[in-house]
Structure 1
Amino acid sequence: MIPTGTGHAPCHHGEILQGVFLDPGGRRCAALVTLPMAGPGSQARFVRRPGTAPDALTVAPADRTKAAHAALLAVEECARRTGLPPCGGQLRLAGDIPVGLGMGSSTSDVIATVRAVAASYGLSLAPETVARLAVRAELACDPLMLDGRPVLFAQREGRVLEVLGPALPPLVVVGCALGGGAPVDTLGLPVPEPSDADIRDFERLRALLRRAVATGDARLLGEVATASARHGQQALLHPEFDALTAVARRVGAAGVQIAHSGAVAGVLFDPAAPGLRHRLRSCLRALDAHGIPATRTFTTFTTSKELLNGPAHRGGDRPAGPDTPRRPARLPAL
């Protein structure tokens, strides 16, 4: 029997908070907190070919170079753990994550690949190991290998600086795309050196987010996300930023979040807010009036269909997580 493994990884909907923070040793460290999004993801299938050279690797689609690098690294890791010689193989990827919007498409490919390679060796690698391999494969990665808990994650080092709590406050998110959905060249963005005042501000937002998670305060989380998006706007310069924040204020949203390395954005709502269905519909109309295309309304605890057609229910709902069965997401082509 040919040794074969499969792997899956979710995506996210951009960042709630991103900046430069102090690690436990007092060292400055770039880090982020992502907004989980159930549904879209990457699937990988790896067929191991014993007896072939490690670089005898074929990848489909052929342009997934980061996933190919991840496969080589994962084979090396798994061969060492099992005592088997490294070998080549065939990697096939599939998924439905829009590319270039800041939803973690490349990290999702990489993590799914690492999991598929490990499965072909009969292994299940710890999240810390997957993170280490992902950073080596693409220089920086999102925390999609974790269990969905809100964490402050050092994306260039693949390590958790802080677990903020068990789950984010329940949220309803009206997703949209800025800049017409055009991909953002992350590597082409300026990277200004943060000042001491910037560090203090990021640490203040970190403390507020910690409190929002601890108390389940969606409105406080929205304030943190909006402030973080405003920081990011200094580099991203989205022309729709003022319109987006004005829409959020007008419809009584908790705030906005914007991917710091892409064009995806979201208007955040507290599901317990009165008149939620009316607020959501007003938000969609306002976004359309400003020429900002809406993508998908989703939540971290139930289905958007229930929210749009009936009252929201908090009790007993399970927080979103990468292993929760979900219906496939349908994001329109952007």
Structure 2
Amino acid sequence: MTVASTAVASTSVRTGARVGRGTAPAHHGELLQGAFTVPDRDTPVRALVTLPCPSYTTRAAFTPAPGGAVTVSPPWKTKARRAAELALGDRPAGGRLELSGEVPLGRGFGSSTSDVLAAVRAVRDAYDAPLTAREAARLAVRAETAADALMFEETTVLFAQREGRALEDFGRRLPPLRVLGFGTRPGGDGRGVDTLSLPPPRYDDTEIARFDHLRELLRCAVRTGDAALLGTVATRSALLNQRHLPVPALDRLLAVAHDCAALGVQVAHSGDIAGLLFTPAAPPPPEARRRLRHWGFEEQWEFTTGRP
């Protein structure tokens, strides 16, 4: 046994825990985002449905240590450190949290929630105390004020991002989609935006009624596996939010989607990425990439998400 492994084993003996490990996925912005009426509330609730993205993963390792202090590497990931502290609960222990991964920052990939979710999973793994998606959601919101629905990996939910709860569980994953993603700043540098500085949109009654209708359509799309209807929901959500969080040159993107037979356009409502939606059986044609480059959208990528 090496000196390092001896130290880890000694720590585990003293704390009654092991080195815990956790991972968390990313997402690719939203399929639907707005404010929705709910039976138990007098006012609409802000919520969203994210588009899972398997291209990126955050990995976390948590080494328990005596005392109450938690340190994190990289040190600027303070939300993940706070999440680890919350996940410890009443345990009289601290520890070392180490995070790694390549989730782009501030672009709409859910990097903050990915860090937080990986952190809480690693802490709970250290104590062999798994947590449910609902528990993880509550911890994530406490750690970062608003969170994404990354912890619901086996289903699709309408998630109240500032309350940490699912307003509706649609009961299954999204139907399979092939996504041609790209940066939405023509000629941009890919550095993203400061999502925390964006004020929450203020929707009017007409918009809220439309969001409720899109929720019904999305419920049907997920239940029946209708990818085309899902594309319609994503496009209409993008158009509704254009008054509040405008996407540059959205009209051009819609034209590309139409001409290339895409199912729809999906955007990150608090980021600078978007995607053209296709089915795996009819993936993006080369013309779609060429048209995007013509309008200055040079940064492009592809991935498949969803499950039959």
Q: Which residue of 1 aligns with 2:28?
A: 13
Letter matched to residue 92 of structure 2: P
2:145 is aligned, of 118, 139, 148, to 139
Secondary structure of the 1:234 match is coil
> How many residues were matched structurally?
289
In structure 2, what is the Cα distance between the partners aligned to 1:137 and 1:291? 37
Q: Does 1:35 align with 2:51?
A: yes
1:107 is aligned, of 105, 113, 117, to 113
Which residues of 2 match residues 319-334 of structure 1 at below 5 A? none
Deviation at 1:26, TM superposition (A): 4.2
Q: Does 1:283 align with 2:266?
A: no
Secondary structure of the 2:48 match is strand
Deviation at 1:290, TM superposition (A): 1.0
In structure 2, what is the Cα distance between the partners aligned to 1:5 and 1:135? 22
1:63 is aligned, of 51, 64, 76, to 76
Could you tell which deviates more after superposition, 202-211 or 185-194?
A: 185-194
Which residues of 2 match residues 263-302 of structure 1 at below 5 A? 263-272=272-281, 276=282, 279-300=284-305
Letter matched to residue 258 of structure 2: R
Secondary structure of the 2:243 match is helix
Residue 55 of structure 2 contacts residue 303 of structure 2 at CA under 8 Å; is this kept in 1?
A: no
Letter matched to residue 9 of structure 1: A
In structure 2, what is the Cα distance between the partners aligned to 1:211 and 1:162? 13
Letter matched to residue 117 of structure 1: V
Letter matched to residue 289 of structure 1: H
Q: Which residue of 1 aligns with 2:86?
A: 73
Letter matched to residue 45 of structure 2: C
- Residue deviations 1:286-328 (CA, integer Å, cap 9, x gap): 1111110243211125xxxxxxxxxxxxxxxx55xxxxxxxxx
Deviation at 1:61, TM superposition (A): 0.5
In structure 1, what is the Cα distance between the partners aligned to 2:29 and 2:146? 15
Deviation at 1:190, TM superposition (A): 3.4
Secondary structure of the 1:223 match is helix
Q: Does 1:257 align with 2:273?
A: no
Q: What is the root-mean-square deviation in Å for CA atoms of aligned residues? A: 1.6
Secondary structure of the 1:167 match is coil
Q: Which residue of 1 aligns with 2:250?
A: 241
Q: Does 1:160 align with 2:169?
A: no
- Unaligned 5+ segments in structure 1 are 302-317, 320-334
Q: Does 1:184 align with 2:193?
A: yes
Deviation at 1:59, TM superposition (A): 1.0
Q: Which residue of 1 aligns with 2:96?
A: 90
Same amino acid, percent of matched pairs: 51
Residue 207 of structure 2 contacts residue 240 of structure 2 at CA under 8 Å; is this kept in 1?
A: no
In structure 1, what is the Cα distance between the partners aligned to 2:161 and 2:301? 26
Deviation at 1:147, TM superposition (A): 2.4
TM-score of the superposition, structure 2-length normalised? 0.89
In structure 2, what is the Cα distance between the partners aligned to 1:182 and 1:162? 33
Letter matched to residue 38 of structure 2: D
